[in-house]
Chains A and B, each alone.
Chain A
Amino acid sequence: MADPRLDRRSVLRTAALLGLGIPAAASLLQACGRPELTASDLRIASPDDPVRWTIQDDNQPIADGLSPESGPLILYNYADYVAPGVVKAFEKQYGVEVKISTFNDTDEAVQKIRTGSVPYDIYFPSYDQISRLVAAELVQPLNHTYLSNIENVWPTFQNPWYDQGWQFTVPYTVYSTGIGWRDDQVGDVATLDNPYDVLWDEQYAGSTAIIDDWHTAMAMVGLRAGITDVNTDSARDLRTISDGLSAISDATQPKVTVSMYSDLPGGQLGVSQMWSGDIVNAQYYLPKGQSVDVLRYWFPEDGKGLVDNDLMVVLKDGRCPVLAHLFIQHMLDEKNALRNFGFIGYQPPQRVLDTDRLVADGYLPENLATAAVKQEWFDSSYRLLELDVANDQAWHQVWQQFKAGG
């Protein structure tokens, strides 16, 4: 049987026939220009199996000492995930324009990046996308001579297991995933034998939420049931997680959302699975006159929970790679990183931040001291990894079943 996949000629002919137009055809051709890959090309990095990616001959870092381009520099990021003041300072310093495009989730983002329809320069993914991004040659290796500020970040990110030698990535933020609650609506979650149980507590039906991210939410369901392999490929574990999702649906009908940073302080929610950065942000969404003391956050004291980090990468199709390097250098600067923290609520892994002093230094209110992310947790916590194709499909099917409300 002939290969049914696309070639350039058939794509052009079909696009013309169907009236898809030049832009669509160009996007498809761009996709065709990528290397042909199979599932076996995907190498999954993990703390137990650190990866040093091969730098391809046709995807080399930029040369040393180049002058910056005239811009505009295009960032591809979540909404409100970079401080406008920090961006403006960069624009002023280099006399260029910075444009920000936003996405809702990284699956959507990668699809759009692959079309090549917009020449994004810098993308802000989580570390659990890096193997696909490198395998498909969507990211460009970094030239370290432009990035001396890497010395400012925690040592663990100067040689991370997902990118040994930080050839493609620099860290952007670190965060934990725990439980946020309002203490005027919900009792002290931290004192429960199993604090995750609060999300299954029927008395909070209608005021509960979990994060609308399949892996983060399902991993939490697994942790509650004692499954510490948050990337499990065991059918039995996935059944347990599926049962847990059914149970939470029956017990509390949780909202599945990413807007808990405003819903919790607004009183729509009493308790929610939350990212630490979101509970920090929640204080700014409290109604006028409401004290921040009402907000609480729990994460296991021993760090045996989910901790993650987001990255900055330079995309191969960007038109301003030098500016992109300079922007990353700008964001790794201590002052800019702290200023950015003040706006987005997500902590940068900067050495200068003493995580035991975030309250004393005014970055966190005392009642949210538990939202501080500690460097040592990255050695002991559970990390959400990229999954191989078959396992990824199995996890997504369980999540799909839950989201269908069936």
Chain B
Amino acid sequence: MSTEDRGNRFLGPVLALPGIVWLLVFFLAPLYVVLAVVFGGLDPIFRTAVPIWNPAYWDTTQMRYVLEHIVGPTGFFGPALLRTAVYVVTASLLCLVIAFPIAYYVARLAGRWRGLLLALLIAPFWISYMMRMLAWVNLLANDGLVNRILPGQVDWLSGRSEVVVLGLVYGYVPYMIIPLYAGLDRLPQSLVEAARDLGASRTSAFFRVTMPMCRPIVVASVLLTCLPMLGDYYTSDLLSGSPQTSMVGNLINETVLTPGQTGQAGAFVLLVLLVSLLPMIYYVRSVSRDEAGL
């Protein structure tokens, strides 16, 4: 075997090493800690979580408690989980409706304004999410600007689902615009031009060429916004504060520091992880199919 062959043989593992270490330290290790807490024990006095590292001694009590209280007559977690799904799906769709035209315009039609528009799109990231939500608290307050402009007095911050959903949309729409822009910017213009040369109208070329090529970009962008939304709790806390708008993130936040319930917080984290895996698998399969097609 030549020196060059030996070099090539080691190059792949060496290049993969940082990624593997990253996954081990920042994904697998924390996941194992969560498992050790979910299936761990409780301090008898403070009822705080005592992680058990050896799977042979794992106790399923906390996980069973969560699962047993999702559906049925004692299923008091169920509504919050369902509410989370409805809020996240609705907010993601609204984000897509808002973000796609903006990203499409900036990526393909903005011309010399592209740089400025891109900077403006990134601008919300300069202000923390919490601050932006607090700004809405002021705007939606009873004596806030919104009530002063609109006719009638509305208690916007009194536990309204629509306010929480709109808060999620406002908070996460930049997270969708940026990846959509990055993807749309890299779409091959030549295919669209070929479609036009072959007689397709602008609309037809958009729906029959651009849109199918956008599918993995859209899926990735929706995923990028869905995942943090699933764990979000402060939007509901700040814009509602009512248990009637509790999401799974609120359940996690509430249980994680409550004596005796930390393991349940871990169980919710695992549920969110499992739910998140489904669209991730769809995305990976979708991308693989597209690549095989090419």
Give me the interface of A with B, judged by CB distance under 8 Å: 1-2, 4-6, 10, 14, 18-20, 37-39, 41-42, 105, 107-108, 110-111, 114, 132, 135-136, 205-207, 209, 249, 253-257, 266-268, 287, 389, 392-393, 396, 400-406
Q: Contacts A18-B29, A136-B45, A207-B155: A257 and B241 contacting too (C-beta < 8 A)?
A: yes
Q: Contacts A267-B143, A406-B79: A396 and B258 contacting too (C-beta < 8 A)?
A: yes
User: Inside 8 A of A206's CB, which chain B residues have their CB?
Assistant: 155, 158-159
Q: Report Cα–Cα, A392/B43, bound state, in Å.
A: 14
The number of residue pairs between A and B whose CB atoms lie closer than 8 Å in the complex comes to: 127
For this complex, 15 residue pairs linking A to B, each with C-beta atoms less than 8 Å apart, are A4-B54, A10-B53, A20-B33, A42-B45, A108-B257, A111-B46, A132-B45, A255-B158, A389-B47, A392-B47, A400-B255, A403-B246, A404-B251, A405-B244, A406-B79
A259 and chain B: residue at smallest CB distance = B241
B53 and chain A: residue at smallest CB distance = A14
Query: Contact: A254 with B45, CB < 8 Å?
Result: no
Task: Give the number of chain B interface residues (Cβ < 8 Å).
Answer: 48
Query: Contact: A393 with B260, CB < 8 Å?
Result: yes
Give me the interface of B with A, judged by CB distance under 8 Å: 24-25, 29, 32-33, 41, 43-48, 50-54, 57, 75-80, 83, 141-143, 155, 157-159, 240-246, 250-251, 254-255, 257-261
Query: Contact: B46 with A136, CB < 8 Å?
Result: yes
B138 and chain A: residue at smallest CB distance = A266
Query: Contact: A4 with B52, CB < 8 Å?
Result: yes
Query: Contact: B77 with A404, CB < 8 Å?
Result: yes
Minimum C-beta distance from B32 to chain A (A):
6
User: Inside 8 A of A400's CB, which chain B residues have their CB?
Assistant: 76, 254-255, 258, 261
Query: Contact: A255 with B52, CB < 8 Å?
Result: no
Q: Report Cα–Cα, A209/B240, bound state, in Å.
A: 11
Q: Report Cα–Cα, A307/B141, bound state, in Å.
A: 32
- Taking each of A20, A132, A206, which has the highest tally of chain B beta carbons within 10 Å of its own beta carbon? A206
B45 and chain A: residue at smallest CB distance = A37
Query: Contact: A107 with B155, CB < 8 Å?
Result: no
Minimum C-beta distance from B243 to chain A (A):
4
Query: Contact: A392 with B77, CB < 8 Å?
Result: no
A11 and chain B: residue at smallest CB distance = B53
User: Inside 8 A of B244's CB, which chain A residues have their CB?
Assistant: 249, 253, 405
Query: Contact: B47 with A393, CB < 8 Å?
Result: yes
User: Inside 8 A of B254's CB, which chain A residues have their CB?
Assistant: 400, 403-404
Query: Contact: A389 with B44, CB < 8 Å?
Result: yes
Minimum C-beta distance from A391 to chain B (A):
12
Q: Contacts A4-B52, A404-B243, A404-B246: A111 and B257 contacting too (C-beta < 8 A)?
A: yes
User: Inside 8 A of A10's CB, which chain B residues have their CB?
Assistant: 53
Per CB-CB distance, the 8 closest pairs between chain A and chain B, nearest first, are: A406-B76, A206-B158, A4-B57, A405-B243, A255-B241, A405-B246, A206-B155, A18-B29
User: Inside 8 A of B41's CB, which chain A residues have their CB?
Assistant: 4-5
A107 and chain B: residue at smallest CB distance = B257
Query: Contact: B250 with A403, CB < 8 Å?
Result: yes
Minimum C-beta distance from A244 to chain B (A):
14
Minimum C-beta distance from A261 to chain B (A):
14
Minimum C-beta distance from B173 to chain A (A):
26
Query: Contact: A255 with B47, CB < 8 Å?
Result: no
Q: Contacts A206-B159, A249-B244: A39 and B79 contacting too (C-beta < 8 A)?
A: no
List 18 extra interface pairs beyond A1-B57, A206-B158, A400-B76, CB under 8 A: A2-B57, A6-B50, A6-B51, A39-B45, A42-B45, A111-B48, A114-B46, A135-B45, A266-B142, A267-B143, A268-B141, A389-B44, A393-B260, A396-B259, A400-B254, A400-B261, A406-B75, A406-B80
Q: Report Cα–Cα, A406/B78, bound state, in Å.
A: 7
User: Inside 8 A of A20's CB, which chain B residues have their CB?
Assistant: 29, 33
Query: Contact: B80 with A255, CB < 8 Å?
Result: no
User: Inside 8 A of B80's CB, which chain A residues have their CB?
Assistant: 404-406
Q: Report Cα–Cα, A389/B43, bound state, in Å.
A: 10
Query: Contact: A107 with B259, CB < 8 Å?
Result: yes
A104 and chain B: residue at smallest CB distance = B257
User: Inside 8 A of A37's CB, which chain B residues have their CB?
Assistant: 43-45
User: Inside 8 A of B241's CB, which chain A residues have their CB?
Assistant: 209, 255-257
Minimum C-beta distance from A157 to chain B (A):
25
Q: Report Cα–Cα, A206/B83, bound state, in Å.
A: 19
Partner of A392 from the list B25, B33, B50, B259 (CB cut-off 8 Å) is B259
User: Inside 8 A of B75's CB, which chain A residues have their CB?
Assistant: 406
User: Inside 8 A of B159's CB, which chain A residues have their CB?
Assistant: 206, 253, 255
User: Inside 8 A of A268's CB, which chain B residues have their CB?
Assistant: 141-142, 155, 157-158
Minimum C-beta distance from A1 to chain B (A):
8
A258 and chain B: residue at smallest CB distance = B241
Partner of A19 from the list B29, B46, B257 (CB cut-off 8 Å) is B29
User: Inside 8 A of B29's CB, which chain A residues have their CB?
Assistant: 18-20
Q: Report Cα–Cα, A327/B251, bound state, in Å.
A: 39
Q: Report Cα–Cα, A6/B159, bound state, in Å.
A: 44
Minimum C-beta distance from A8 to chain B (A):
13
Minimum C-beta distance from B85 to chain A (A):
14
Partner of B158 from the list A110, A207, A249, A406 (CB cut-off 8 Å) is A207
Query: Contact: B260 with A392, CB < 8 Å?
Result: yes
Q: Report Cα–Cα, A159/B259, bound state, in Å.
A: 29
Query: Contact: A405 with B142, CB < 8 Å?
Result: no
Q: Report Cα–Cα, A255/B241, bound state, in Å.
A: 5
Minimum C-beta distance from A20 to chain B (A):
7
Minimum C-beta distance from B54 to chain A (A):
6
Minimum C-beta distance from B157 to chain A (A):
6
B140 and chain A: residue at smallest CB distance = A268
Minimum C-beta distance from A252 to chain B (A):
9
Query: Contact: B260 with A18, CB < 8 Å?
Result: no
Q: Report Cα–Cα, A110/B157, bound state, in Å.
A: 32
Query: Contact: B243 with A402, CB < 8 Å?
Result: yes
Q: Report Cα–Cα, A403/B45, bound state, in Å.
A: 24
User: Inside 8 A of B25's CB, which chain A residues have their CB?
Assistant: 19
Partner of B46 from the list A5, A132, A254, A287 (CB cut-off 8 Å) is A132
Q: Contacts A20-B29, A249-B244: A406 and B77 contacting too (C-beta < 8 A)?
A: yes
User: Inside 8 A of A267's CB, which chain B residues have their CB?
Assistant: 141-143
A214 and chain B: residue at smallest CB distance = B258
Minimum C-beta distance from A147 to chain B (A):
28
Q: Report Cα–Cα, A223/B251, bound state, in Å.
A: 27
